[in-house]
Amino acid sequence: MRPAPPVEIRAEGDETAKAAIDALVDAGLLTATATTRVPAGFTGGDQPVPHIHYEATPAAAEAIRPSPNTFLGGTDLCFARRQVAEVRGNTEPGEMAGVHMTRVTYRWRLDDIAPWANAPAIREAFPAIASALDEPEGEATETLILTDSGWTHQSLVG
């Protein structure tokens, strides 16, 4: 897996984003280095502006993954794995627009929870993580598509 790209933000500015990123520093997933940058464009002038350069640590290899999200320069934060605990049922496989599909309902639970995920700074900066850890089991329904490789989640079929 390729490492997450480095991120630079102004030292003064979006405190919400900075708090979230600093929580990842405290968790040992990122390093922070003070730096300066000269703003580009007409409004910046030629005075250096303090920035903080964040880079993923080796501990982040399993936690910070590439994605289309813009947070952390196009990455997702993986703090646990959702495991299927029980398949409750599925619809009769059918065909729609030449594609064979079925909907599967299942119970899941969070496994392999990262040790840093319950840190107070992480829970505060990432309310979705706190919420998921507070309710580590649930039920979901997903659509599966029949491909040459077998049944595959619809989001993985291109």
pLDDT, tens digit (0-9, with 9 covering 90-100), for 19-61: 888 899 999 999 999 988 887 766 656 788 888 988 889 888 8
pLDDT in tens, 98-131: 999 999 999 999 999 999 999 999 999 999 999 9
- What are the extents of the domains in the chain? 7-77, 81-156
Percentage of the chain exceeding pLDDT 90: 53
Residues 6+ apart with CB under 8 A from 53: 6, 7, 8, 32, 33, 34, 35
